[in-house]
Chains A and B, each alone.
Chain A
Amino acid sequence: MTSKHNESRRAFLVSTVAGAGAVAAGAGLAQTTPQAEPAADHTHDNGGKLGAFLNQDDSAAIEAFTERLMPGAPGKPGARDAGVLNYIDLALAGAYAELQDFYRRGCAALADHCRKTYSKSFAQLTAAEQDAVITAMIEGKASSFTWPTSQAFFNTLRTHTMEGMFADPVYGGNKDFAGWRLVGFPGAQPVFTEADMASREAFTRGPILGLQAQARRS
């Protein structure tokens, strides 16, 4: 992570905390202090470190791969900003444990293909080279893959990237609602009004709500 990125993330967190305070006020509950908000404490920067399941090399590959599937840009959070790697790592250690070997073998085939084609790991390739690898996988032209097939591995990584972007942050991705902010989804709103539903504009009546905010309210 670059220091520039950390700066933008910090700005992001400040706005999140302000938003969370507004939730409590809007709901007519006691104002919570910013210090009480756990907005930043589930940061799990897994790039190059050991996670719950993935090893270092596979973590680096998955992080780079998912970032190409949903790349970040200024003002547009991508997979790395959302913590998609962390989502996948935790899912493979738990709910998706039956996919461990699928990932292990898929990552090995990806590494083999990149080594044969570029003499580098996927994470070491340029963005254009990474995209070429992904295209070869979609077209079935990455011969290192047997099981899973390159298409199956791509499809699963794509689905899991979307889950990591858009699932509630309690699952380890969608960090600070990065994915929901990207698309304009207000999260787990308990109520929409008739006026909300008649509007032709974006929903801005209240802040984004996640499961943790819900739990605090109940």
Chain B
Amino acid sequence: MATEKADVVIVGVGGTGGILAAELSKAGMKVIGLERGPRHKTSDFAGQDELRYFQRQDLRPNPKRQPVTWRPNANARAVPMAPLNYGNQVGGGTVHYGAVSWRFHESDFRVRSQTIERYGAAAIPEDCSVIDWPLSYAELEPFYDRAEYDLGVSGKAGNLQGHKIEGGNIFEAPRQREFPLPPLFVDNSARIFEEGVKRLGYHPFPTPRAILSEPYQGRPGCAYCGFCSTHGCHVGAKSSVLVTKIPEAEATGNFKLVTGAMCYRIHSDNGGRVSGVSYYGPDNSDNTVEAELVILSPFIYDVVRLLLLSKTSKFPEGLANSSGHLGRHVMTHIGGRVFVAFDDRYVNMFMGPTAQKHTIDDLNGDNFDHGGLGFILGAQISVQGPGFDAGPIAASVGMPPPRGIPNWGAPYREFIAKYFARHAALNAQTDNLPFADQMIDLDPDVRDVWGLPAPRLTYDWRRPSERARVEYMLRKTEEIGRAMGASHVWRANERPGSPGGHHQGGARMGSDPKNSVVNRYGQSWDIHNLFIAGGSTHPTISGFNPTLTMQALAYMTADAIVNRYKKRPGPLV
């Protein structure tokens, strides 16, 4: 049993924890980072292997060792979720993600107010618990900018200081300057998508991605190998926190990284402060870090679990949970997937970065009139691989054949042989509202290899407005497929009864300590030296991938700690 002391202990050295580690250690703070998984090197990813990384999910938590369970509602029995959406290594999910890097819309930060203003209060589902964010887009913009330039994001501006630019996303919130890097190459599937959606009057643009289109900060540009989402980058062009912020943190001499460290408890003095954490080492040793500041930055399941496991007599419902909102208001993205196949051309989806390659934002957020539709919010619609990856395993297990063709036998062989290199997938990544009964708690039956209760997700999208939104987006996406000139257009059979992806919420930020867990800086309302970073703090999720927003918030939190909290510890307002 070892005890160490530090100024700051960070639990989870991933997409946000790594940023905080670098920024705080650069400011002279002594930081210890605890990471459950291993540390990889870029050369570890020389073996481009779809079975290992896509199908067997080598860079995700092992669901056998570290189960997270899911049930559609409180009356159902929870079962372990097969694919987990987050990372299990230094750099976290940014090592294997598709690196799609969005800024949320201005309206995404004020869904409640925007909806009431435009459609009236009745447009919000009766039992929906949506609140506005405690900050505006404009307040976060400098930190989005910093994240894009610090990490390396490629894209094309569509709104420079209010000036709309065709070819970029004209629906994006105003940005102060261009992306640091030009867009990645536009591939064949993106060209076909672009031609198709323009026929329908939409505004396509290359998806911004944290993948270098040119050499930047000593790293090379993308090699377009296609082993991208679910894989680690074999040249280091993906701007993961592993290759950007971790070396920066280590160069300060103030950062100590501990891998194989499973944090199981946050210590508190029962008087409004936390004093450190305990963790199991890889040898099952029981260790403690005493720190002035505790930052939680694992995935949302473990934020909630750790706080629930750390309950005290002062906080009997979970540490920092005087509000009773810890674990609640969890949201997901529902993927409305449509497939297209061409008889007259090859598409070669397996080339280039595989996540959302080219996108329209016309049907996302409040970018279109929802009057009479029976739902608010929308989806980002993109062309991408059939699974997270675009190789033949993803195509054969992730893309059901069109109606009338069985998924086995000679007809299936003919289908996959002809269309593997001639198909594309379209995905309507559909936004989703918070409800108090969409939640994470502790599973009473399932435990992980450390003997800790598994996090349990209770979630489904069976509400009428949720179903109407997905169905609308599927129909619009099918229209796009036909406009692309595809010989075959068919949809995946999406229906309620699935756990979704990109889980966010559970420790949401707000303006009112009675209906939120943290303030805009991720600082606990109850315990001022406890901060939370990552998607658990998001009050709404938008139709966009969450990582860049999580990272912008991490830069903002680091800035507040270094420039304000460090000098005068206490509640930040």
B191 at the interface (CB under 8 A from A): yes
Contact (Cβ within 8 A) B350 A185:
yes
Question: With an 8 A cutoff between CB atoms, is A33 at the interface?
Answer: no
Q: Is A162 an interface residue, CB under 8 A from the partner? A: yes
A70 within 8 A of B: yes
Q: Which of B423-479 contact A (CB under 8 A)?
A: none
**Contact for A166 among B50, B226, B407, CB less than 8 A:** B50
Chain A binder among B41-49, B128-136, B486-494: B41-49
- Please tell me if B420 contacts chain A, counting CB pairs below 8 Å: yes
Q: Cα distance A188–B54 when bound, in Å?
A: 14
Q: Are B408 and A203 in contact (CB under 8 A)?
A: no
Cβ contacts under 8 Å, B223 to chain A: 190-192
Interface segment, A55-63, A108-116, A141-149, A194-202?
A194-202
Given A191-B223, A192-B224, A98 contacting B413 (CB threshold 8 A): no
Q: Which residue of B lies closest to A167 (CB)?
A: B51
Contact status of A190 and B225, CB under 8 A, knowing A159-B397, A166-B391, A199-B348: yes
Choose among B391, B396, B412 the residue with the greatest number of A CB atoms under 10 Å from its CB.
B396
Cβ-defined contact, B345 with A200, below 8 A: yes
**Residue of A76, A134, A190, A197 touching B187 (CB-CB under 8 A):** A197
Bound CA–CA A195/B101 (angstroms): 26
Q: Is B294 an interface residue, CB under 8 A from the partner?
A: no
Q: Does chain B have a CB within 8 A of A180?
A: yes
Q: Judge whether A200 and B188 touch: CB under 8 Å.
A: yes
Task: With A167-B55, A185-B420 as known contacts, state yes or no: A197 contacts B185, CB within 8 Å.
Answer: yes
What range describes how many residues of A lie at the interface?
A: 35 or more
Kindly list chain A residues whose C-beta atoms are within 8 Å of the C-beta of B188: 197-200
- Complex Cα gap A191–B46 (Å): 12
Bound-state Cα–Cα, A193 to B185, Å: 9
Residues of A within 8 A of B351 (CB): 192, 196-197, 203
**B410 sits at the interface (CB 8 A):** yes
Q: Check B408–A134 contact: CB distance below 8 A.
A: yes
In the complex, what residues of B have CB within 8 A of residue A168's CB?
49-51
Chain A 68-80 near chain B by CB (<8 Å), digits 1 or 0: 1111010010100
CB distance from B446 to the nearest CB of A (A): 16
Q: Is B421 an interface residue (CB 8 A)?
A: yes
Q: Is A183 an interface residue (CB 8 A)?
A: yes
- Checking B51, B392, B409, B421 against A202 with a beta-carbon cut-off of 8 angstroms, the contacting residue is B421
Return the chain A residue nearest B351 by Cβ.
A192
- Residues of A close to B225: CB separation below 8 A: 188-192
CB of B198 closer than 8 Å to a CB of A? no
Nearest to B419 among chain A residues (CB) is: A183
Shortest distance between the CB of A89 and any CB in chain B (Å)? 15
* Chain B interface size range: 35 or more
Which residues of the other chain, B, contact A165 by a CB distance below 8 angstroms?
A: 392, 396
CB B143 to nearest CB in A, in angstroms, measures: 33
Residues of A within 8 A of B267 (CB): none
User: Would B421 and A198 count as touching, CB distance under 8 A?
Assistant: no
Q: Is the CB–CB distance between A68 and B185 below 8 Å?
A: no
Q: CA–CA, A193 to B421, complex, Å?
A: 17
Please tell me if the beta carbons of A192 and B47 are within 8 angstroms of each other in the complex.
Answer: no
Shortest CB-to-CB span from B230 to chain A, Å, is 14
How many angstroms between the C-alpha atoms of A199 and B420 in the bound complex? Answer: 15
User: Would you call A140 an interface residue if the criterion is a C-beta within 8 Å of the partner chain's C-beta atoms?
Assistant: no
Is B47 within 8 A of A211, CB to CB?
yes
A131 within 8 Å of B (CB atoms): yes
Nearest CB of A to B363, in Å: 27
- Within B154-198, which residues are at the interface with A (CB < 8 Å)? 185, 187-188, 191
Question: Is B6 part of the contact surface with A, judged by Cβ < 8 Å?
Answer: no
Is B149 among interface residues, defined by CB-CB distance under 8 A?
Answer: no
CA distance A60 to B92 in the complex (A): 43
B392 in complex: contacting residue of A134, A183, A194, A201, CB < 8 Å: A183
Q: Which of A73, A134, A167, A196 contacts B348 (CB 8 A)?
A: A196
Give the contacting residue for B417; candidates A131, A182, A201; CB below 8 A: A182
Query: In the bound complex, do residue B407 and residue A185 qualify as a contact, i.e. CB atoms below 8 Å apart?
Result: no
B352 within 8 A of A: yes
B544 within 8 A of A: no
Complex contacts, B50 vs chain A, CB 8 Å:
166-168
Q: Is the beta-carbon distance between B392 and A71 smaller than 8 angstroms?
A: no
Question: How far, in angstroms, from A167 to B393 measured CA to CA in the complex?
Answer: 7
Cα separation A27 to B516 with both chains bound (whole Å)? 58
Q: A190-B225, A198-B191 are in contact. List 9 more A-B contacts (CB 8 A).
A: A69-B408, A69-B409, A182-B413, A189-B48, A199-B188, A202-B421, A211-B47, A214-B48, A218-B46
Nearest 3 pairs between A and B by C-beta?
A: A183-B420, A167-B51, A197-B187
Please name 24 pairs of A and B residues whose Cβ atoms are closer than 8 Å in the assembled complex, sorted by A: A70-B412, A73-B410, A158-B407, A159-B397, A162-B397, A163-B51, A165-B396, A168-B51, A183-B392, A184-B421, A188-B47, A188-B49, A188-B225, A189-B48, A189-B226, A191-B225, A192-B224, A192-B352, A197-B352, A198-B188, A198-B191, A199-B348, A202-B346, A214-B47
